[in-house]
Amino acid sequence: MTSTPRKRVNLTNVTKEKVICRIWGSGEMSLCNCDKCGRLFLAKWESRCTSCSQLVLKDTHKVKDFVREHPRATLIEIYNMTGVPLQTIKELMRA
Ligand SMILES: [Zn+2]
């Protein structure tokens, strides 16, 4: 599995996460800090722990359902209507 480097800005925990991944990284699995809650977890390529990934998955469905019904909705409208964090919506819109 190849991991594509993602461009992330203005995230305070990015530096910490990268340092820890470098220290602990061995072979395929690395011990990383979760992007969202900061907990340590074993990761191949994902940047969030299992519980946070599941939360994001729920948010993903919320956003996708809303966008399907409101194709012209703006980021702020999606945020106001779904309550999903802006950061998550932005990631989804990029994908
Ligand atoms: Zn987490």
- The answer to whether position 74 is within a domain reads yes
User: Is 6 part of any domain?
Assistant: no
Of the candidates 60, 25, 59, 58, which has an alpha carbon nearest to the alpha carbon of residue 42? 25
CA 74 / ligand 1 centre spacing (Å): 28
* 80 belongs to a structural domain: yes
Report CA(33)–ligand 1 centroid distance (Å). 8
> In angstroms, what is the span from residue 68 Cα to ligand 1's centroid?
28
- Supply the range of the domain harboring residue 28: 14-48
Which among 23, 89, 24, 25 has a CA at the least distance from the CA of 56? 89
Distance (angstroms) between ligand 1 centre and the Cα of 71 equals: 30
Res 11: pLDDT: 46
Q: How far is the CA of 65 from the centre of ligand 1 (A)?
A: 24
What's the pLDDT tens digit per position in 12-68?
Answer: 445 555 545 544 555 567 788 898 899 998 887 788 899 999 998 999 999 999 999
